[in-house]
Structure 1
Amino acid sequence: MFAIMKKSILFILIIFSNILLAETIGRVMKSNGTVLIKPMGSPSYSVSVKPGQAVSNGDAIRVGEASFAVVIFLDDKSVVKIRENTDFQFVETSNTRSLIIDQGTTLHNVNKEDRKKTYRVETPVSVASVKGTEFSSFHDAVSGVDKFVGKSGNFEVLNSISGAIVNVGPGQKAVSNALGQLIPAPAEPGDFPEDPDGESSPEQNDNQGQSENNQQDSPQQQERQPQQRQQRSPQQNQNQTSQEPAKQTESVERLEDVQTSSSNPQSPPKKPFNMGLAVGSATINDTIYNQVALRPELSFGKLGIGFDLVMYIDNEGNIRKDEWDEPSDFIDKILYLRWGQKSDPFWLVWGSLNNVTLGYGGLISGYSNMMEFPSVRKVGINTGFNFRNFGTEVFLSNMKDFSRGGTLLGLRGTYKISDTLPITLGMNFVQDMNQFSGLKDTDGDDYPDLFDDFPNDKDLWNDTDGDGLADENGGNKAPSGGWDIDADGNNILDSEQSELKLKPEPFKSTNSEAVAQGFGFDIGYPVLKSRALSLEVYSEFNTLSFSQATGDTTYFNRDKMTGSGITLPGLRASLFGFLNISFEYRIKNGYFIPQFFDGSYDLSRVTVQTTDSGIIVRTKDQLVFADPLSNKDTRGMYGSASANLFNLLTFNASYASMKADTTEFNSFNALLNLNAENIPKLSVAQAYYQRNNDKDPFDFGNPSLNTVFGYKVGYEVSQGVSVIWDFRQFYRDSGIPGAALEPVKQTTIETAFDF
């Protein structure tokens, strides 16, 4: 008896579960050619689709060669148009609607008004989150490349490997790949796919969607290529519509619950213009300012321009003039300028740069010139050319540094042997032409502000007693009030003293030289490329050299240092688009560390330290190689992993360990990004930690100069309005002998409006 009851209960549960899974969520409005559905739980695509076909939660759809289909969702009347050679699955939960794309191209018209669920398009590489817009998505399963193109409205694209996020608006696109790159760019005229259903109005679509004669086209018409169908004139579409049979009663009844009077004609694409408004506070040089910023974004074909028109107001209502008082300041108002993307014959990014990596990253990896923004605004450039199998790339971190002796420069050239033998050879050259240009010099007199007693006066620099009067000969010319008559502050006139102990001339960046240089060669080969597994093997050889100090060595002294590193082998793999891992075996000789020019390079590029013997200037290499054993030859491993955990969060971490006897150089980097779509009122949530080339990067209680961490949290107050808290912290020498490092905290609180 008990066994019978047990079987009965199990049978009821199975039936109930199937009913839930088989919930109808949409219907096929139109179909043409080979369109098949694989029901939930079925091993194959067994159902041939006709107009009016129900689509259930968990169903997968396949559109074959020279075919198309149109599906409408029952609840909010959103429409997805499916082009040829496309496979994807419908997956819905109580608050999320997901289209899991295996391959192909889809066009989406998401209804914002009646929608109660988050609308997402997911591929093994990317996730596009939509709030109500018209856009297209394309996924190449072989190469692992996604392309999302906006037609109206705005949506976000997340690269599941790196955690990078970009916002895509009308006339814009985002290209995402399995290497973790996410590149925003203006959309070109041909980027948005042709509508497989033609250009008919929604009213025409309703009438045509009720007809089954799409399956009755002539064989010649079915054999046409999709390009031919897409190029038909409106007159041809109209003629085809007029030839449809009048026998549509059955289809009308089946789609009666789908078609409503709320179907409005599609609005034309919006003008490619976005406006962002930020109202909040920002900390600059330890002073808190109220911030009002307009951040318009313009797109014209391949050209994209972003502005940062910001005003900082102190607690007395005074506007900070430092950002508006010189003609050169207006260059800073251009946040970025883009032309094309890296796959184009010519591409350019000017202004703010993020995540710059040359080759496999042995020399420069993840560099950003925005680490000290907004207190320090840099104007960089990253550009390149592609011609057949050749490629070039040029990188400059800050054009302003040329007036102070130079900037960080990067060059790369590549050559792919052929498509049949896709071995790629690459060469890299990186040089920091003047590491001292990392020291802030407000008045441009070559005396950095940390040494200059008059940082806003290019004619004066020394004030021994700190009374605001310049020492005699402590400048190029006497001030209007004359030199200080008591420069040492001992209340005795200088003219009555035989010996004066005054400050020596401070450190001058042009009196010494500090150059860091790197050269590298790499080779790579894609071993496997499939949906389940992709594997790339590579090797690279890199060198670093640091020039010997010349000229005045009072404040800066450095012997020449050189070193090299070999990666053999290097492996990168992707499993089912879910897990991405990499492994490198590294051999290091002399003064070398991988990724010397990393994301935090600008923070540790050059520092000033106070010792018992006085103030000295130290460059990053001197800090990294301060240990006498740091030039010993070492060997070790590097590994990284990134994963998308059920679309709830993405995680990216890397660890390196290099050893030689008792000497260790360890690095740890981590990025955690929470999918805010799953949490009400949360617009963004991410955190990061970076600590490179330390003995113990996990000693969180004792940070070093190589430590950078931060987080960003956004709370959605109402639709389109979010309050965002952005925090970053790093460390610098306090200038006091024996004292702990001084934390430098940068906090921005702003209210963001999405127009």
Structure 2
Amino acid sequence: MKLSAILFIIILSLQNLIAQIYNEPKPDEGFITGGAGLIWIDGQPHYRISFRPEVSFSNFGVGLDLNLDFDSQGKLRKENFNELTDYLSIIRYVRYGYKNDPVYLKLGALDYYTLGHGTIVNYYNNSPTFDARKIGLVADIDFGNFGFESIYGNFAQAGLFGIRGFVRPLKFSDAGNIPVIGNLELGASYTTDFDKNATVLSGSYDSQKGEFVKTEDKGALTIIGFDIGLPIVKSGFTTLLLYFDYNKIVNFGSGMASGVKLDLNGLGLVELSAKLERRFNQNKYIPSYFNSFYEIERFKLDTVTNTFSSKALALHNVGNDLNGFYGDLLIRVLGLFDVYGAYQRLDKDPKSGILNLRTDVSPKDGSVILRAGYDKINIQDEKDLFKLDDRSYLFTELGYKPIPYIIVSIVYNWTFSPERDSNDNIVGYKPQKRIEPRMYFVFPINF
């Protein structure tokens, strides 16, 4: 293809927004995004057709996400539609309510879900790759005096399930009107992963059968937790919460965490949320076990070297007395920017660093767009902090608005692609690089 034709396609590229860096529409709003263009996947050019509308009617919301990638021969890329969930995931989500509403239901892609205080399930992502998207369900209901939070990660096969029930016992009597103590909350959690590789400890790859043969595992990976939370300050502008969690990983170890969480709402213009947590980890225990990398870490098989790694094996080898700190901070200036950061470091484990960063600088009436996110696990030192490898996930978009509804930008993704055995089963993930020059439209809809 001539260079001029390639440049023409790049300039006219109308690409879809990425869910992790774009907020869902507010009630009675929506937007339509789509187009056709060029994308480089692992250095190979593909032609993309995309269509992604999202609409919200009152408390209901629906989002579609259709992507068709064709190679230079005009053939549809295999990973676009090689599983049933690839077809189902065209409906990216169906939603009722928003997170922290009295009723919140969401079916589809689950981006960075947290259960309770986050000491078991923290920013879990059920679709860390574009090429094996999954359909899950979140159901959170708060009846005032009691309620529950729940998640199921993957309807296509056995996977992560978690539920946390909570009660505010003093609300059932006049004691619920007592300042501070009246808001006491008690919770209990049950979280388990039914995936067949959730607790693999030993095994080998059988090349004749084309499958991994386990010689030791412990069945489902189950964590039971109990927590207590006390909002010592609770008003329309400020919430200060003290909490304590105890968790037990069945057949492994246990751990505890105590923390403080502060939320400030400056008249709807500036929001700040901060959390600091001290973690007390015993032998064979990993805090926030189901995190944003869990689907990647659960099980990886190298059929060339006949070796494997699993999170359960890492859990089995964890030593004792690995206490540490966890903290996060969110600053949101409405209409201007969002900045979020979280970090974990254990006292005696040099490879325990976990980093999460997010930013969205896209003023409604501004002309510059900057959206970025970065996840990194098993960080050893400062040199390791921003090195892109199989422990990293990155997305960035830098763009400009020549007119209000058109954005010209460059997008870079360091993500993952699934690796499959001879029976087409996913046995691991490998890093994947995507580069997308874009010129796309975002057309708002007001009802």
Q: Give the TM-score taking structure 1 as reference length.
A: 0.47
Question: 1:540 corresponds to which residue?
Answer: 245
Secondary structure of 1:699's counterpart equals: helix
8 A contact 1:393–1:413 mirrored in 2? yes
Matched, 1:635 2:320: no
AA in 2 matched with 1:669: L
How many residues align structurally? Answer: 398
8 A contact 2:153–2:159 mirrored in 1? yes
Q: Distance in 2 between matches of 1:365 and 1:274?
A: 29
Secondary structure of 1:621's counterpart equals: helix
> Could you tell me how far 1:722 is from its partner in structure 2?
1.4
Matched, 1:562 2:252: yes
Q: Measured at CA, do residues 273 and 166 of structure 1 come closer, stay the same or move farther in structure 2, by a change above 3 Å?
A: closer
2:345 to 632, 638, 657: 657
AA in 2 matched with 1:351: G
Select the structure that is richer in strand.
Answer: 2
AA in 1 matched with 2:117: Y
> Could you tell me how far 1:590 is from its partner in structure 2?
0.9
Secondary structure of 1:603's counterpart equals: helix
> Could you tell me how far 1:328 is from its partner in structure 2?
6.0
AA in 2 matched with 1:525: L
Q: Deviations over 1:124-167 (max 9, x none)?
A: xxxxxxxxxxxxxxxxxxxxxxxxxxxxxxxxxxxxxxx97525
Q: Distance in 2 between matches of 1:562 and 1:327?
A: 35
> Could you tell me how far 1:511 is from its partner in structure 2?
8.5
Secondary structure of 1:399's counterpart equals: coil
Unpaired runs of 5+ residues, structure 1, are: 1-162, 174-186, 188-271, 439-450, 452-461, 463-502, 546-560, 735-740
Q: Measured at CA, do residues 680 and 538 of structure 1 come closer, stay the same or move farther in structure 2, by a change above 3 Å?
A: closer
8 A contact 1:604–1:706 mirrored in 2? no
> Could you tell me how far 1:749 is from its partner in structure 2?
4.2
Unpaired runs of 5+ residues, structure 2, are: 1-19, 200-204, 420-428
Question: 1:303 corresponds to which residue?
Answer: 60
1:731-742 mapped onto 2 (5 Å cutoff): none
1:99-248 mapped onto 2 (5 Å cutoff): 166-168=23-25, 172-173=26-27
Question: 1:387 corresponds to which residue?
Answer: 143
Q: Deviations over 1:326-348 (max 9, x none)?
A: 87653222111112345666542
Q: Distance in 1 between matches of 2:339 and 2:113?
A: 20
> Could you tell me how far 1:708 is from its partner in structure 2?
2.5
Q: Deviations over 1:527-552 (max 9, x none)?
A: 1135775321111111224xxxxxxx
Q: Distance in 2 between matches of 1:308 and 1:733?
A: 20
Q: Distance in 2 between matches of 1:414 and 1:752?
A: 44
8 A contact 1:278–1:750 mirrored in 2? no
> Could you tell me how far 1:298 is from its partner in structure 2?
4.2
Q: Deviations over 1:6-57 (max 9, x none)?
A: xxxxxxxxxxxxxxxxxxxxxxxxxxxxxxxxxxxxxxxxxxxxxxxxxxxx
8 A contact 1:521–1:541 mirrored in 2? yes
1:722-737 mapped onto 2 (5 Å cutoff): 722-729=407-414
1:369 to 117, 126, 132: 126
AA in 2 matched with 1:715: Y
Matched, 1:571 2:260: yes
8 A contact 1:435–1:619 mirrored in 2? no
2:310 to 608, 619, 622: 619
Secondary structure of 1:378's counterpart equals: coil
AA in 2 matched with 1:534: T
1:432 to 174, 190, 193: 193
Secondary structure of 2:211's counterpart equals: coil
Q: Distance in 1 between matches of 2:160 and 2:39?
A: 28
Q: Distance in 2 between matches of 1:274 and 1:679?
A: 16
Secondary structure of 2:120's counterpart equals: coil
Q: Distance in 1 between matches of 2:299 and 2:139?
A: 26
Identity rate of aligned residues, in percent?
A: 24
Secondary structure of 1:517's counterpart equals: strand
8 A contact 2:89–2:109 mirrored in 1? no
Question: 1:242 corresponds to which residue?
Answer: none
Q: Distance in 2 between matches of 1:319 and 1:733?
A: 17
Question: 1:312 corresponds to which residue?
Answer: 69
> Could you tell me how far 1:522 is from its partner in structure 2?
1.1
Q: Distance in 2 between matches of 1:700 and 1:670?
A: 11
Q: Distance in 2 between matches of 1:578 and 1:345?
A: 21
AA in 1 matched with 2:325: M
Question: 1:524 corresponds to which residue?
Answer: 229
